[in-house]
Amino acid sequence: MAITKVWVEEGCTSCGLCEGTAPEVFEIDDVSEVIEGVDYSKYESEIKEAANDCPVEVIKFLES
């Protein structure tokens, strides 16, 4: 199954963990945001690691 969508729900604390784990996918402005146009298939392990390690569990992804 491939990751087809990634998003950050409300509640992000801008800790920077996701950007540190997958800077090609996430960027911190006021809160974490997913970078538009990223080929998620190239960064699946990093996306899953960022979601699993998120201290407030707001990083979500969809696999299909």
Q: Which residues pair with residue 16 across a beta bridge? A: none
Residue span of the structural domain in which 30 resides:
3-63
The C-alpha atoms of residue 40 and residue 23 are separated, in whole angstroms, by 12
CA–centroid distance for 63 within its chain? 13
- For the question of whether the overall pTM of this predicted structure is more than 0.75, the answer is yes
Length of the chain: 64
The number of domains in the chain is: 1
Q: CATH code at 32?
A: 3.30.70.20
pLDDT tens-digit profile of 8-43?
999 999 999 999 999 999 999 999 999 999 999 999
Q: Which residue has the tokens 């809160």?
A: 31
Confidence of residue 44 (pLDDT cuts 50, 70, 90): very high
Q: Can you give the pLDDT at residue 40?
A: 98
Residue 34: strand, helix, or coil: strand
Residue 6: strand, helix, or coil: strand
